[in-house]
Structure 1
């Protein structure tokens, strides 16, 4: 058995590439890194890698993490700049016994000294979007924040090795140095190859209040299916956070166990991509259902056409 599940429609091309690799007996880490790099490299995705939207000062700061479910090795970066593929830097850091989570200038310096290429990751399109937002804020005094779509993936290979990875440019117009849940173990991601893994996307400030990725893995360990584990963790915490904190931001999680079964839960409308051996392969829409359940439906061609038109619309 093999499989891969990822947050958002933007991950689908990478998932298809990973699918071919996994079918050819590739290591889960290689397949997942390839898939996430494809998202990082695509200039029209505004929340990950090249073309991602910058912080309030116009600087593109990126976060990423990689975890091996067999060894529990974790590597992560936060606030890294001018590096084409933060996921690759995070993966290399996972081999370090010490100093495996680097932030800011230290993360960028590590990447440069380790031989990773340097690149200006702020596209002209992203810069124009940032300038327009600055103008809107000055005119209307509205909240500047918009968009926090992390690509997160859980991957299982034919040898039951599992990995999880995340990559994000974070909250658009965030304060310099702000870090969300994406590089934080237990919140943005977690995997145990003897059980399964989970990855998150959404408002990091709220996701990190619940450590939902770790909780989903532990719920799967207790015997719940990935879908039941996602439902219990996401809807239970949404309710608790609303009661205790007064509100709950948008968040969604995907999960897969070491048998290739998968699950998704969300407190908003959310797309994801999944591919498993001899099973489903495609893009789906998830949304909250009744009684703390999730409604999952295939994406329509009409939706896909509208999506492509929207992300490439002139700025």
Structure 2
């Protein structure tokens, strides 16, 4: 049997490498997607996920995460959880529950504490400086407070044919307390069915959740579309519909993988992702919207990688 994994953004690449090794060694899809996302959650320089994630307007890091088992369709999710290093692991444990499998706010945090998940102060000194700088910019320059909303979303396929999906994010920087995006919402931020495939989203959650695009991509794959065809046909027409009927559309980027390990991507912005399967070593690629509702995918350059590393680690004034 084949195996594979795909995940959003360059920040997921180290996790994709780890997940690919697990899958190659006949590891389970659920273990692989959790390990992938845990890697991103633990890295302090990724400002939109986990430890070091940017806070809400009150300086509190509130995280959203979800896990889905493609065999049983079991789902666990958390939203607005605080001080928990690996929100996706809490979501995965909740997926074992028939009742109370989606927990929010204080209830989610208490559940994590009662089940011995690692509790830490998620607001790093670096993230606090960025937050304080943004507050000053808002006061002095009357700038829009919102900046950044990248989610790590991932799909895995193991050699037994099982699939899993996971998401994790600290959400929109400077968001209102209690704001929830698409990431923990089934069908919007993620969906996976081992008999078909899975999809995951990143971007502006308020707009992504208007389309239930992850489910729509899986549905199209179930109708026989390739992952790339499904991504293109689900994402681009909906963006145009949203512009026409709502007046605007935020950033949309989605990744997908089917039960054969084939993959696809669609986006309306410059979007990096990482992917690997039995036939391809994990690699970072760049996607951009192309002509006639298609997607252009190219390798990234070393120059781009170097600039990325410099940017995310740049000192905060």
Report matched runs for 1:153-232 at 5 Å: 153-232=154-233
Aligned-residue CA RMSD (Å): 0.5
1:201 Cα shift?
A: 0.1
2:12 matched residue in structure 1 = 11
| TM-score with structure 2 setting the length | 0.99
Task: State the shift of 1:63 in Å.
Answer: 0.3
**Structure 2 equivalent of residue 47 of structure 1:** 48
Name the SS of the counterpart of 1:190 in structure 2: strand
Which secondary structure does the structure 2 equivalent of 1:176 belong to?
coil
Q: Could you report, residue by residue, the CA deviation over 1:284-305 in whole angstroms, capped at 9, with x for unpaired residues?
A: 0000000000000001000000
What is the distance in 1 between the residues matched to 2:116 and 2:129?
A: 31
Give, in whole Å, the separation in 1 of the partners of 2:281 and 2:26: 19
Is 1:83 the counterpart of 2:104? The answer is no
TM-score by length of 1: 0.99
Query: 4+ residue stretches of structure 1 with deviation over 3 A?
Result: none
2:117 is the counterpart of 1:116: yes
- Aligned partners of 1:247 and 1:118: how far apart in 2? 39
Ranges in structure 2 where 5+ consecutive residues have no aligned partner = none
- Say yes or no: does 1:312 pair with 2:313: yes
C-alpha distance in 1, partners of 2:68/2:245? 31
Match of 2:286 in 1: 285
Cα distance in 2 between the residues matched to 1:101 and 1:170: 17
Partners of 2:32 and 2:56 in 1: how far apart?
30
Deviations 1:80-119 (A, max 9, x none): 0000000100000000010000000000000001111211
Query: Match of 2:131?
Result: 130
Task: Measure the CA separation in 1 of the matches of 2:53 and 2:116.
Answer: 23
Q: Secondary structure at the residue paired with 2:14?
A: helix
1:69 has 2:97 as partner: no
Q: Is the 8 A contact 2:16 2:282 kept in 1?
A: no
Unaligned 5+ runs, structure 1: none
Pair 1:259 & 2:299 matched: no
Separation in 1, partners of 2:141, 2:279? 52
Query: Would you say how many aligned residue pairs link Structure 1 and Structure 2?
Result: 315
CA deviation after TM superposition for structure 1 residue 280, in Å? 4.8
Deviations for 1:176-232, whole angstroms, at most 9, x for unmatched residues? 000000000000000010000000000000000000000000000111000000001
Deviation at 1:248? 0.5
